[in-house]
Amino acid sequence: MTNRNTLREQAQAFRSLHVPGAPLVLPNAWDTVSGRLVEEAGATAVATTSAGLAWALGAADGDRLDRGSALAAVARIASAVRVPVSADIEGGYAEDATGVADTVRAVLSAGAVGVNIEDARYDDADDAGSPLRSVAEQAERLAAAREAADAQGVPLFVNARVDTFLRGAGGVDATLERAAAYRAAGADGIFVPGAVDPGTVKELADGVDGPLNVMAGPGAPPVTELAALGVARVSVGSGVAQAAYALVHRAARELLDAGTYGALTDGVDYGELNRLLARGR
């Protein structure tokens, strides 16, 4: 278990990195090697991708990976890097708010100082047919996360993911309504994946009372433009993992179909990878 004083210091450092106009940029990692490569590239923090992590462990994304397996992977990443780590814990790996609190305590034991908690549902939609949890239910889950971390004396950064855009469940007004409720429940930041249109991002940045996180990728504005819009955090979700797996697919097809090796050009040097894994934290 990570020393509580160290966790507090890392949590405070991670919290200070969320500055509107000078955003924290997070190339998401999913295992020890990707975490160390991200850190080596100069990242001031490492965030996990739940999708990439699940795929690496042989599970599909969307609340299909069990808490123990997910957080064991987070612990390996946190123990391998020196910078703060934030864990994407999907919906909290739990059925109810009490379970979310248990997950947060396990996150802290794993050495992470931030969490993403999403409001999307992956089971059958509720009685209203919504792909999202109700505002009240999600607020209760976020409050439980906040209370669990505070009881441990660690200012865990709770990033509340609002999946209105990603799941086609509402626009700016619905997003801001959820964001306000989640902030009141104890969330520190608001994460709105699926919203990259500059006008929309500006409305969200102006309307959210707290740091705004957007998920970027091909076709999204560059970080400098997102910064000018008031964004405080830019991440890429499963994008890096998807690009890595695309290389595996291309290399395999080339080798099997053409018998050539062009896709293997520019791979990370064998010695460099060994060096990264041989070093201490």
What would the pLDDT profile of 49-86 be if each residue is shown by its tens digit?
999 999 999 999 999 999 999 999 999 999 999 999 99
Instruction: Examine the pLDDT at 125 and tell me if it is beyond 60.
Output: no
Q: What's the distance, CA 227 to chain centroid?
A: 19
Q: What is the structure's pLDDT at 50?
A: 97
Q: In this predicted model, what pLDDT tens digit does every residue of 244-259 receive, in sequence order?
A: 999 999 999 999 999 9
Could you give the CA distance from residue 105 to residue 187 in angstroms, rounded to a whole number?
16
Q: What is the mean pLDDT of residues 111-132?
A: 84
pLDDT of residue 11: 98
What residue segments make up the domains of the chain, in order of their start? Answer: 4-237
Mean predicted confidence (pLDDT) in 106-122 = 97
pLDDT of 85: 98
What are 132-187's pLDDT values in tens digits? 999 999 999 999 999 999 999 999 999 999 999 999 999 999 999 999 999 999 99
- Cross-sheet strand order for the sheet of 85-88: 24-26, 233-235, 212-215, 189-191, 157-161, 114-118, 85-88, 46-47
Q: Which pLDDT band, with edges at 50, 70 and 90, does 128 fall under?
A: low
Based on its alpha-carbon atoms, the radius of gyration of the chain, rounded to whole angstroms, reads 19
Which of 26, 258, 5, 252 lies closest to 153 in space, CA to CA?
5
Q: What is the pLDDT of residue 136?
A: 98
Rounded Cα gap, residues 219 and 104, in angstroms: 34
Spell out the residues 6+ positions from residue 259 whose beta carbon is closer than 8 angstroms to its own: none
pLDDT at 3: 74
The CA-CA-CA angle for residues 162, 163, 166, to 5°, reads 145
Cα torsion through 244, 80, 232, 229, rounded to 10: -30
pLDDT band at 36 (very low <50, low <70, confident <90, very high): very high
The pLDDT value given to residue 279: 81
Structure confidence at residue 46 (pLDDT): 98
What does pTM read for this prediction? 0.95
Q: Measuring CA to CA, which residue among 204, 189, 198 is closest to residue 216?
A: 198
The rounded distance, in Å, linking the Cα atoms of 213 and 194 is 11
pLDDT of 1 above 90: no
Distance CA 259, CA 229 (A): 48
> What is the three-state SS of the chain?
CCCHHHHHHHHHHHHHCCCCCCCEEECCECCHHHHHHHHHCCCCCEEECHHHHHHHCCCCCCCCCCHHHHHHHHHHHHHHCCCCEEEECCCCCCCCHHHHHHHHHHHHHHCCCEEEEECECCCCCCCCCCCECCHHHHHHHHHHHHHHHHHCCCCCEEEEECCCCCCCCCCHHHHHHHHHHHHHCCCCEEECCCCCCHHHHHHHHHHCCCCEEEECCCCCCCHHHHHHCCCCEEECCCHHHHHHHHHHHHHHHHHHHCCCCHHHCCCCCHHHHHHHHHCCC
The pLDDT tens digits of the residues spanning 179-237 come to 999 999 999 999 999 999 999 999 999 999 999 999 999 999 999 999 999 999 999 99
pLDDT of residue 2: 61
pLDDT computed for residue 124 by the predictor: 58
Question: What superfamily would CATH give domain 4-237?
Answer: Phosphoenolpyruvate-binding domains (3.20.20.60)
